[in-house]
């Protein structure tokens, strides 16, 4: 494949993290997540102690068809972002099937066969040993995960990648909640600032809000999410 034909090297215009009209695949992803119960509305207590009007649980993408479709959404998001990478890394545990699904989608849907790798929660001192399984860490490694809350798994992944002799190429997640962490910035923004990495996502809270605006029967959920964002939204997360 010639460099100018590589679907993963084209960057679309427009600033990162701002909606330039929601893409069809993003709308389809929201509907897919609702269909599988991955995205739900109600009253949910988060690890932070906040009471959230919505919840996202990627663990419910739990069959072959779900992973096939999910991998395609990740691949499309990475394509749209124009990220430059040589391999993919999935942080244990949720990032492991996500990275695998993404790698398969890259091969089947985009004609790019990329190596993938993941870490162990505990390093083995017997058998094949080591901290990682899969392809050897090399070149620019793109981290694939579901969401970023405190950034712990991404921080750990960055350390493993660098200690393995590779370079973190960025992070792609399913949903950016765009809400404050401990300070005024979001957990995603904190990861970007701490590591100098770009974090992209399939959808953001802004995409979800835009989707709900389009629905005739979602006024209540839309209003609750708007109030939640007014209370907890990070600086620069939109209006």
Count helices and strands in the chain by DSSP H and E runs: 7, 8
Identified catalytic residue from 47, 110, 121, 126:
126
> Please, which residues bridge with residue 209 across strands?
none
Joined tokens for residue 197: 């990495």
The Cα 20–Cα 23 span in angstroms is 8
Identified catalytic residue from 10, 94, 124, 156:
124
Give the orientation angle of helix 24-35 with respect to helix 205-214, to 10 degrees.
80
Find the distance separating the first CA and the last CA of the chain, reported in whole Å: 42
The Cα 207–Cα 213 span in angstroms is 10
Mark whether 124 is an active-site residue: yes
Mark whether 121 is an active-site residue: no
DSSP state of 59: G
3-state helix/strand/coil string of 81-121: HCCCCCEEEECCCCHHHHHHHHHHHHHHHHCCCCCEEEEEE
Catalytic (active-site) positions: 124, 126
């Amino acid at each position: 494949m010639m460099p100018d034909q590589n679907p993963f090297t084209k960057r679309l215009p427009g600033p990162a993290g701002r909606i330039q009209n929601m893409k069809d695949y993003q709308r389809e992803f929201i509907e897919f997540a609702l269909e599988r119960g991955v995205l739900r509305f109600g009253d949910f207590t988060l690890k932070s102690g906040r009471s959230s009007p919505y919840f996202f649980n990627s663990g419910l993408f739990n069959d072959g068809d779900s992973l096939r479709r999910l991998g395609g959404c990740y691949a499309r998001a990475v394509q749209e972002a124009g990220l430059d990478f040589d391999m993919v890394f999935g942080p244990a545990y949720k990032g492991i099937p996500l990275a695998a699904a993404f790698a398969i989608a890259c091969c089947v849907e985009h004609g790019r066969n990329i190596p993938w790798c993941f870490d162990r929660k505990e390093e083995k001192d017997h058998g094949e040993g080591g901290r990682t399984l899969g392809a050897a860490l090399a070149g620019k490694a793109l981290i694939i995960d579901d969401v970023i809350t405190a950034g712990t798994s991404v921080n750990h992944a960055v350390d493993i990648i660098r200690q393995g002799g590779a370079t973190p190429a960025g992070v792609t997640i399913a949903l950016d909640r765009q809400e404050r962490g401990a300070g005024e910035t979001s957990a995603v923004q904190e990861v970007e600032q701490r590591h100098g990495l770009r974090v992209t996502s399939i959808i953001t809270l802004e995409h979800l809000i835009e989707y709900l605006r389009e629905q005739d029967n979602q006024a209540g959920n839309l209003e609750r999410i708007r109030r939640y964002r007014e209370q907890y939204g990070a600086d620069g997360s939109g209006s």
